[in-house]
Amino acid sequence: MEIFKRRWTGSREKGMATAAKRADRAASNGMIELYSHGGGRVGVMVEINCETDFVARAEQFRTLAHEIALQIAAGSPKYITADEIPAAELEHEAEIARARAKEEGKPDNVLPKIVEGRVEKYKDEICLLRQPYIRDESITIEKLILQNVAAIGENVVVRRFQRWELGESAAQS
């Protein structure tokens, strides 16, 4: 059993390395996945791209697109990656974290580390690729995508998404 585990982990790591090499290849094919949840209370539209039309029609790619749409419905991310978060929003979160840490009586010399940790946690919550996968919280959505890239042999990119929830104001979306 241990030998199998080591082999599987090793091949998985090899696959992830291969996936990382494919990350800069153009992904202009793909699909738009639509998902409605909770009897129509939450709707998601997500564009997932790959390199070829052949892969875009494959069941594994379509399943991945559906899983990502489910994640967006459940996780309510605002951004795909942390690079997309406006600096003003990050600074606002840092101020909230700083004020909270001071209220909790944390010493000034540890405030920067506490603020950094809380801002990173905020990024984990609002960035799709950093969120824990709803079906296996031991991996992130980014790792789920990389595992699929390794398996299908093509670059896969979440290009954009939109999530709507019944009753939310237009200012939130």
Q: What is the pLDDT of residue 173?
A: 45
Reported as half-sphere exposure (CB side, CA atoms, 13 A), residue 144 has a value of 24
CATH of 86-126, one of 1.10.3720.10, 1.10.286.20, 1.20.1530.20, 2.60.120.10: 1.10.286.20
Q: What is the pLDDT of residue 3?
A: 42
* For the chain, domain boundaries: 2-77+136-165, 86-126
* Pairwise CA distance, residues 7 & 102, whole Å: 48
What is the per-residue pLDDT across 42-73, written as a single tens digit (0 to 9) for each? Answer: 999 999 999 999 999 999 999 999 999 999 99
| pLDDT mean over 75-101 | 96
Backbone dihedral angles phi then psi of residue 166, each to the nearest 5 degrees:
-55, 130
Q: What is the pLDDT of residue 168?
A: 79
For the full predicted model, state whether its pTM sits above 0.85: no
What is the per-residue pLDDT across 91-120, written as a single tens digit (0 to 9) for each? Answer: 999 999 999 999 999 888 999 999 999 999
Domain 2-77+136-165 has CATH 3.90.420.10: no
Which has the higher per-residue pLDDT, 129 or 10? 129
Helical ranges in the chain per DSSP H:
2-22, 53-56, 59-75, 87-103, 111-126, 141-152
Q: What is the pLDDT of residue 21?
A: 54
Which has the higher per-residue pLDDT, 55 or 22? 55
